[in-house]
Structure formats: structure tokens, C-alpha cells
Chain A
Amino acid sequence: MHIEVDREKLLQQLELASRISTRHQTLPVLQCALFDVSDSTLVLRATNLELGFEARLPVETKESGVLAVPAALLAQTIGLLYDRVVTLKSEGEMLVVETSKSHTTIKTLPHDEFPVIPQLTGAVQKLSGSLFVLGIRTAAFATSQSSIKPELGSILVHQQKERTLTFVATDSFRLVEKLVPQQSISLEQSLLVPQKNALEIARITEVVGEDPEMVVSENQLALRFPSGVYVTTRLTEASFPDYQQIIPKEFATTVTVLRGDLIHALKKTNIFANTFLQVKVGIDPKKKTITFSSDSGDLGKTEETVSATIEGEAFSLSFNQRYLHDPLGSFADDSIVLKFAGVGRPMVMEGVSEKSLRYLVMPMNR
């Protein structure tokens, strides 16, 4: 192989590839990016057997060929070069990386063990890339970190309404549901995308900056971008609970409060958080206030009162304050509505006018 390639374009794809390539105990070639050059196209591939990535770049080909080279090492090297164009050529077992002022040789690995990236075929759906990213990013924080239930370690992507996709994640203590518009979506099945893979796909979609086409088949999902980037992931094969059943429909108390006030109050209670991260929330409809207090025992305690519009009865509950704080950055509205259904029942958090994001969180016992 012997090519000349635009350094920045190569670096961008190589950085995406190197995030996927991995040190694998029994298959060392997985730490590599595979370079496959024929005619004037370089096809760059990387996989960790969970995710598969493929990019196409126009190159000046002097000699075609295939080789596998450690992706992170090469990305680091190329990141530190200056010239606009880089020459890559194979010399025996080595890859030579050359510019006018720089010369590097990197040891390659046998490429014949490099896995095939599954190419999915089937019905194609045009997605809005940026909105797909928004859906994943908004939901991702609430997935479960435990591997006991793979469905809770995944983001549920399904269609509930016309022209929208719904992204849902829960670790069983809280649940987030985000709707994003997708003009030409038509999705019959629901997809469970492992959270890590979903975030990686979101990053790729963002970097590529194009609207992809989605294909789903055989427990796999793939996105194909106009520029030739292709990414595919395994889907979690499990069923997701019918979460809508647990969303309360009637509420005892509804509190409307400024998002900024809420963030501020929780930042303060966080200083005096105890081991359970417990924050007490007291609602006083007469004074029109909501009070947040935490007590660390050893260090001291703090209390912050925020004015609010309140409908319903007086109430006092405890929450894990991280669970309250986590979703606040994702709301677009300045005002947040907190809806309480009672002790032992989830609280619902929504924007005042923007209803595309809904968050459920279980209160603590005392």
C-alpha cells in the first residue's frame, strides 16, 4: 500500500475509529484500524465486535493494498503532524508515515484476522442526525450501570407518535423519556441500543454532521451517512418494561419553579449531602415555597427556600439529590413543573410548556 491523503480528513476519521478499536485479549488485531486501499479510495475500518465503523476517504493511490495498524498510535502520530498531506506506505511489516519534515514507522499486525463489518440490508429510514443525537444524549444518563439487566443498560428507541422517535432510559430508580421530531420515521419494532454504543454512535453522527439513513435487521442497527461513513451496533435482545404504566396520571400536588433556582438550591444541599445523598423537599402551598434541606450529620446542615407556584396540599418527601439534579440541564424551559403523586409513588418532572421531555423519580423512604 502506498497513498497520499489529506491529513485533517484522515485524522478526523481515525479518531472516531480509535475510539472503537480496543485491546482484546484473544484478538489483538481489534486494536487496529484496517486500511483497505483500492482505486482512489481508502476504506478505514474499526470494530470491537460490538460496534463496527467504516469510513471512506479519497486518496492519491500509488499502490493499493490492505494493512492493519494500531489505531490510537497512528491517530496520535498524525495528530502531531503539520503538513496538509501525509504519505502512508507499507514496507514489509512496517507502515511508514511521512511528511516533508517527519518520518515515522509503525509496526503493523496481520490483517487477515480482522473481522468483517456486517453490512445491513433492508428498509432504509432517513433520520435527522442532530435530533437523533439529541435523543440519545438526553436519555443516556439514566441507564443502569449494572450488567444484570441488559435492557436497563440500554436506551429504548421506539416510535409512539407520528413523525417522532421516543428515547427512554431507566435504571429503575428514575426514568427519562425524550421525544424528538423525525419527519420520515416509520419504526414498527422497538430498539434497545446498549448505552455505550449509543453514545459512540451519537458522537460519530455529530462529527460527521450529516443526516444518516438507518437500517435495522437481525439484532443489529446501522447508520449510513452520505459521505460513506457507516456504523453498526449490536442491539440488546430483551424486552423493555411497558414503562408508561408506571407514570402517574393523577397528582396530589403540582409545583412550578424556576429551573435556575432549583439547580442553585441543589448545588447548595449537595455540599452537606449525607452518604445517601438525601435531600428533603418540603412544599408549603400557603407560603408558596418549596424548601430543600440536607443534613450531613458530621459537617452540618443547610436549607434553601425557593418561591414557587403550588397547587394542592402541603407535602414533604426525600429524594436522592443526584437524581433530582441529573436531568435539569436537559430541560429547555426556564420553569419546571414537579408533580407529586404521593409517598411511595414516582414524582414527575416536566417543562412548563415544552412537553417533549419527561422525567420520573422515586422518592426515598423517609
Chain B
Amino acid sequence: MSTSIHSTVVAVGVQPLTAKQLWDDALVNIELSITPANFKTWFKDTHIVSVESGTATVGVPSVFVKDWLADKFNGLILKTLRELSTHIRSVEYAVVPRNDRRTEKVEHSAFNPALPLEEYYINKSDNLNPRYVFDTFVVGPFNALAHTAAKTVAEKPGIAYNPLFVYGKTGHGKTHLIQAVGNHLKRTGRKVFYATSERFTVDYFNALQNGTANSFKDKYRQYDALMMDDVQFLANKEKTQEELFHLFNAFHDNNKQIVFSSDVPPHLLPHMEDRLRSRFSQGMIVDIPPPDPESRGAILKAKAAQNGITLDEAVVNHLSQTIEGNIRELEGALNTILCQSQLLGRTLSLDEVKQLIKNSMRPRKSLAVSEIVDKVARFYDIESASIYEKTRRKEIIKPRQLIMYILREDFHVSYPAIGQKLGGRDHTTVIHSCEKIKTNLRSDSSLEDELGQIRAILK
């Protein structure tokens, strides 16, 4: 057999054996010249990585094997390889991770569903989750603007909007969106890095502690695009903020794309340096508000389709109207239904679904009007009673209008009901108040700040 191989090599000459064939043939010869025990212990799971300019690199499963082959069998391996391919002059060994991750699907017991970890495997070199791409991002009216902005950035990085600043509450899809930008840029051959602001902080702290601040700078500056998640956690970290400021300038000056996410818009970020805040605002700021019922339905259908099932229209309607929280909660409810229908081996009826998710619904935050009035009054340091009175004092009017606005916008109370609850006012007065606040919010950022703070109190 070995002669026939030999003749192949000689006959073809310019077209030597492929690396894999070469190693397979070498293994056959090596097996004959050492004990079976030795062969099994040390040559199992080896392969050839490359043959370049006379050096063959052999991939081995562990350092133990690497050291042993280099120490004890180097001569034999080299001799065998040279017999098969004369241009090989040396052999090197490299530890190549065993590919022992099998792809079999784990059978979970129908009784005990698993944590949804499958969805969160990330690429080690850039921290991106390959599942977060634009194709899996469900677009609805609520996030259409953010989606368009992100798409534009992904197609024209560094030019369109730099930085892109995405903000919204937890579970609205910020991370998905900014990682989708990252994954898109990665596919177009750019070096991308995704980091949470916490990771960035720890890296920087370590670099300072070890006196390796320069290599830290180099590490981050080598990328073509940077996605930084949850920048609100940089609050109070002046040093890290300063470093981010410099990093930002380095990226921006070189037209490299930066994408930030946060739970609040830049001007509401607490304990953040003004110069950094103004950098955040200098590109494009987009908000991802909570999904509207229609979008919730679309998301549910898309998630169900990803899981290979179709949901009844009535079930989708029910779920999208009753679960008002974030997208993760929708997924949670969907998982519950999935598990239960697997368990029963059939699709569930609407009544069964209703019964099933009764418990998974978060209690709708319900506050009495009087509580809201009390809290807002306390915020502005005025008497609660004055809100209900007919007084038109300036310091009372504004809080009163704000309360009306909040009742309308956040708690969806009808205009007549608001008027009635707040001291028997006409509903047109309420409409006027809400419109006034709406208009003022556009121009008056301090009013927006106040509104944000009041909403936080009401939570």
C-alpha cells in the first residue's frame, strides 16, 4: 500500500497529497512502527492543520499530547512525513480544541422546561450572538424608526449616523438591534466588538491596576466598529467615562462606527460628564418604546414560527392584549404554552391558554388617581388638595396639567374621567392640558426631565 502511495506522489509530482491524505497515510505507517497502546494514547484525535513552506503543523487535542509527541515521537513523525512528501523539513505541534460538542438535541423532560440558554451562545472573539441579526428582528410601528436607523448605520457605517444611540426599557430589543448592526458589519469584513459598559469598566480598571493602560487603548482602537450596551452603568465612573470619551474621539475622527444603548436618553443619564453626554447626542438618538398590541401580535407569531408552531389568531390576540410587559414576557408566556401543548400532544384552546397564562401576567400597575396626585404634589412640594381646587395659580396649574397628561398617556384614562376625578373639570379642559404638555415637552427639556423623574416615582 505504501508503495502505491509513493508512486502517486512521484507520478503526480506537482500535485502532492492533500494535507489530510498525507496525515492519514502517515498514521498508517506510524501505527505499524509503535505499540498499539502508544498509538491509541497519543495519535488518536490528531490531524494535520497545515503544510506551509516545509513545516507540517500537527493539531493535537491537549498540551500533554503536544509535549509527548514533540519529545518522544518527533523523529518518527518527521521521518514518516518525509517519506511521503520530501519537501517537509520540520514538524510543529499545536493544541487545537477538540470538537467534542455534539449537535444532538438534548431531550428535555416535558415536565421541566430548560432555561432558554440556547439562544445566548456568543462568539468569543467579538462577543456577538450570531442569532441577533436583522432577519430575526421583528419590526412593528413601535420600533420601525430604530430599525431603519440601525439598518442605515449597518449599511453606511461611520458615515450615516455616528454614534447611533438607542434607548428603551429592558426587553424592548436594544441588544438585539445593536448586535444586529454588529453582525451585519462583521459579515462585510469589518472587525467588530460588542461590550457591555460593565465589561469595559472592568477591562479599564484592570489595565490601570496592571499598568497596561496602553495595551487597553490599543485593544479597543484596533476595531472598526464598537457596540456598547447599557452605558447607564458608567454613572459615577469618571475615569472610565474619560477613557470612553477619548476612545469615542478616536473612533469618530477615523469615521469608525459606534453604537450605544441605554435605558434612558443621553440627557437623562445620571452622573455622566457633560462632554460625554453631548458626544452621545451628536449622531442619531432613537427610542424603542414598549411594543403596541399589534406589534406584540407580530412578535408572537414570529417567535412561534421560529419554534415551528403556528398559533391560533384568537390566542395571539388574547396574548397580545393581556401581556403588556416587555418582549421577554411574551416569550415566557409563549414558552409556557409550547411546553404545555407538547405535554398534552395537541394545540391548546383559547380557554386553556387563558387559564395557563393567568399566573404569568404581571399585575397591571394600578394606582389610584389620588395616589398619583399625592405623589406629584409631593414632588412639586404643594398641597394635594390644591390640585382638585379651582385655583389657577401658576405653581398649581403645571402639576395639575402634568397629572392629566400622565393619567392619559400612561394609564389610558379617558378625558371625561380625568376631568371628573380631578375636581369635576370639563373634558375639553383636560384635552387642552394634555396638548399643552405635549407641545411644551418638545421644546422644554427640563419639563421632560421632571416628567421622567415623576414616572420613576410612580413605578
Contact = CB atoms under 8 A, between A and B. Distances in A.
Partners in one complex: yes
A60 B113 CA distance: 61
A243 to B, nearest CB: 6
A365 B336 contact: yes
A100 interface: no
Contacts of B410: none
A116 B111 CA distance: 48
Interface string A218-246: 11100000000000101001111111011
Interface stretch (A36-44, A61-69, A170-178, A196-204): A170-178
Contact of A172 (B115, B122, B198, B329): B115
Interface string B162-203: 000000001100010000000000000000000000110111
Contact of A344 (B64, B68, B326, B335): B335
A107 B368 CA distance: 86
Contacts of A252: 361-363
B209 A186 contact: yes
Interface in B20-68: 36-38, 40-41, 62-68
Nearest to A238: B101
Interface string B113-132: 11111111111100101000
A250 interface: yes
B360 A344 contact: yes
A362 interface: yes
Nearest to A114: B68
A111 to B, nearest CB: 13
B246 to A, nearest CB: 20
Interface stretch (A6-14, A79-87, A254-262, A308-316): A308-316
Interface stretch (B4-12, B102-110, B436-444): B102-110
Interface in A328-357: 341-346
B115 A246 contact: yes
A50 B339 CA distance: 39
Interface stretch (A128-136, A144-152, A207-215): A144-152
B115 A170 contact: yes
A186 B202 CA distance: 9
A162 interface: yes
A101 interface: no
Interface in A136-187: 146, 148-151, 159-162, 170, 172-175, 184-187
A234 B205 CA distance: 28
Contacts of B66: 118
B95 interface: yes
Which has the most chain B C-beta neighbours within 10 Å: A170, A346, A362?
A362
A172 B336 contact: no
Contacts of A248: 328
A76 B197 CA distance: 54
B333 interface: yes
Interface in B317-334: 325-326, 328-329, 332-333
A52 B64 contact: yes
B143 interface: no
Contact of A115 (B64, B129, B360): B64
Contacts of B108: 172
A148 B106 contact: yes
Contacts of B395: none
A116 to B, nearest CB: 4
A172 B117 contact: yes
Nearest to A237: B97
B359 A241 contact: no
B112 interface: yes
B340 A365 contact: yes
Contacts of B110: 365
Nearest to B39: A26
B135 interface: no
A345 B325 CA distance: 14
B71 interface: yes
Contact of B41 (A26, A242, A278, A312): A26
B15 interface: no
Given A26-B38, A116-B71, A241 B117 contact: yes
A245 B199 CA distance: 14
A234 B362 CA distance: 45
A220 B451 CA distance: 54
Given A186-B210, A238-B101, A246 B117 contact: yes
B310 interface: no
B97 A218 contact: no
A27 interface: yes
Contacts of A173: 112, 114-115
Given A150-B100, A252-B362, A344-B335, A320 B206 contact: no
A49 interface: yes
Contact of B116 (A24, A246, A363): A246
A35 to B, nearest CB: 20
B333 A344 contact: yes
B203 A250 contact: no
A240 B120 CA distance: 8
A242 B199 CA distance: 13
B202 A160 contact: yes
A243 B117 contact: yes
A115 B68 contact: yes
A151, A159, A245, most chain B CB atoms within 10 A: A245
Contact of A345 (B98, B100, B122, B360): B360
B348 interface: no
Contact of B111 (A52, A162, A240, A276): A276
Given A116-B71, A313-B363, A344-B339, A162 B202 contact: yes
B458 interface: no
B133 interface: no
B209 A342 contact: no
Interface string A117-130: 01000000000000
B343 interface: yes
B145 interface: no
Nearest to A149: B101
B120 A243 contact: yes
Given A249-B170, A364-B112, A27 B120 contact: no
A241 B336 contact: no
Contacts of B97: 219, 237-238
A364 B40 CA distance: 45
B127 to A, nearest CB: 8
B357 A343 contact: yes
Given A188-B206, A239-B123, A365-B112, 14 more contacts: A26-B36, A26-B41, A118-B64, A161-B198, A161-B202, A218-B63, A238-B101, A241-B117, A243-B117, A316-B359, A343-B332, A343-B333, A344-B339, A362-B112
14 contacts: A116-B64, A116-B67, A149-B106, A186-B209, A186-B210, A234-B62, A242-B129, A243-B117, A245-B175, A250-B326, A276-B109, A342-B362, A344-B360, A345-B332
Q: Which 3 pairs across A and B sit closest by C-beta, in order of nearness? A: A237-B97, A344-B336, A186-B206
Interface of B: 36-38, 40-41, 62-68, 71, 95, 97-98, 100-102, 104, 106, 108-124, 127, 129, 170-171, 175, 198-199, 201-203, 205-207, 209-210, 325-326, 328-329, 332-333, 335-336, 339-340, 343, 356-357, 359-363
